[in-house]
Amino acid sequence: MQKIKIDEYDYDLPADRIAQYPLPGRDSSRLLVYDGRGISSDSFRNLGSHIPPGSHLVFNNTRVISARLLFRKESGAVVEILCLEPLSPHSYELSFSSADPVEWKCMIGNLKKWKSGILSMLFTTGSKVNSLIAERTGQEGEAWRVRFSWSNPLLSFSEVIEASGHTPLPPYINREDETEDRLRYQTVYSEKRGSVAAPTAGLHFTDELLRSLSENGINASNITLHVGAGTFQPVRTSDIADHTMHCERFSVTGETIGNLLENHGNLIAVGTTSVRTLESLYWMGTKAIGKKLLHNGGITISQWEPYGEDRGISVDESLGALKSWMSDKNIIEMEASTSMIIVPGYRFRMIEGMITNFHQPRSTLLLLVSAWAGNDWKRIYSYALSNGFRFLSYGDSSLLIKSLNPIKSLM
């Protein structure tokens, strides 16, 4: 599987098919339904009629932060800083609540215009004018360490960036962020701050739809994976084996692990981030069984770790071991990270289906869809292109579930 050629996962995506704005109603977007055999379309508000009875949805409740900071120099040049993840304090919540200077791992646009020194900007909170200062303190892989400080000691860093920052829209949305994006580039169930990109499959849900699903016996659990800018990173290598997958932090409670155990066989992931988290949890459980899960050393799954020897461990065994490990360590909510890549040839352990938007050509997200649907991803995307579906973050959605009688690809 590591010999996969990315050229085989390319397709023509016209620019006018990339949604630049969301539709007025979240659940008025279109829904493509693929069950392993047929393809049909409907409105997203009718999602409940396509989900098998007793299904259990898994949502990513991360919240997008105003991570895009624009500093204008005296020369007029604009330096853009995109906050990726906290370094000091390392915890998201401690960093967001801090009134003292913080350090973040950041991407910097127009870096050549910021050779040295500090950057500053003015921003207002209420009637008060404040200043924000950024200082580059070192390199962090392909990104940079940036120290932020601000003039008003009554403000937390979260309040600072919400007042001074911009919504980090994806690079393929060719416009500046607008006020409405603060609401619409956010799921209605978002809760835990930390993402620089929305888990876009969830953008279609409304409070009314969530209530309707619950009333009809479709229950749900939440995990949290903070989506990083790496989700937009193109695959630049010809072989996927040479691509370095981005790492993302996630957290899950022991209660949620219990819910996943109870509902295994009925899990439908809302978004590729939920898929990645769920599958990573399985592999963390196998490490717990092998006594290779090190709490103090960082809980993580590396890029190709799931592609080693299959030890035949069941999901019940894996999640049971993970739940017991958390209980023994008195961990109520486990914080971990994953660099796991899901490509064709991977055998899914956790899910029976996924809800996901339509992804960019030559992307790791398209590879994940292909890992689930096989070569039928071409038929799915051809149908979407031929029938006017809108693509990418603000576009339409799809429900990809297993057929009761799966058959070979119809391509």
pLDDT in tens, 304-315: 999 987 889 999
DSSP letters spanning 254-309: HHHHHHHHHHTTSEEEESHHHHHHHHHHHHHHHHHHTT---STT--EE-SSGGGS-
Sorted by where each starts, the structural domains of the chain and their CATH numbers stand as 6-63+185-401 (3.40.1780.10), 67-166 (no CATH)
Q: Is the pLDDT of residue 234 over 70?
A: yes
CA distances from 319 to 90, 253, 257, 389 (A): 27, 12, 7, 38
Mean pLDDT, residues 26-36 taken together = 97
pLDDT in tens, 42-60: 999 999 999 999 999 999 9
Side-by-side strand order, sheet with 102-109:
68-72, 78-88, 102-109, 143-150, 128-140, 118-125
List the one residue out of 295, 63, 76, 379 whose CA is nearest residue 199: 63
Supply the pLDDT for residue 115. 85
Strands in 141-191 per DSSP E: 143-150
Supply the pLDDT for residue 294. 67
In this prediction, residue 410 has a pLDDT band, given cuts at 50, 70 and 90, of very low
Supply the pLDDT for residue 291. 82
- Residues 41, 44, 46, CA angle at the centre, nearest 5°? 85
The identity of residue 271, as a single letter, is G
Q: Is the pLDDT of residue 2 over 60?
A: no
Query: Which residues contact residue 14 at a Cβ distance below 8 angstroms, ignoring those fewer than 6 apart?
Result: none
**Of 152-161, 225-234, 284-293, which range is least confident?**
225-234
pLDDT above 90 covers a percentage of the chain that reads 87
Supply the pLDDT for residue 274. 98
CA distances from 346 to 125, 236, 315, 343, 350 (A): 49, 21, 15, 6, 12
Report the distance separating Cα 279 and Cα 217, nearest Å.
Answer: 24
CA distances from 181 to 81, 84, 267, 310, 393 (A): 19, 19, 30, 44, 12
Give the three-state DSSP class for 81: strand
Supply the pLDDT for residue 409. 34
Q: The tokens 């997008």 sit on which residue?
A: 64
Q: Is the pLDDT of residue 407 over 50?
A: no
Supply the pLDDT for residue 295. 61
The identity of residue 251, as a single letter, is S
The identity of residue 18, as a single letter, is I
Supply the pLDDT for residue 114. 93
Tokens representing 173 are: 């949305």
Supply the pLDDT for residue 403. 60
Tokens representing 387 are: 């029938």
Beta bridge partners of 148: 102, 134
Q: Is the pLDDT of residue 229 over 90?
A: no
Mean pLDDT, residues 200-225 taken together = 97
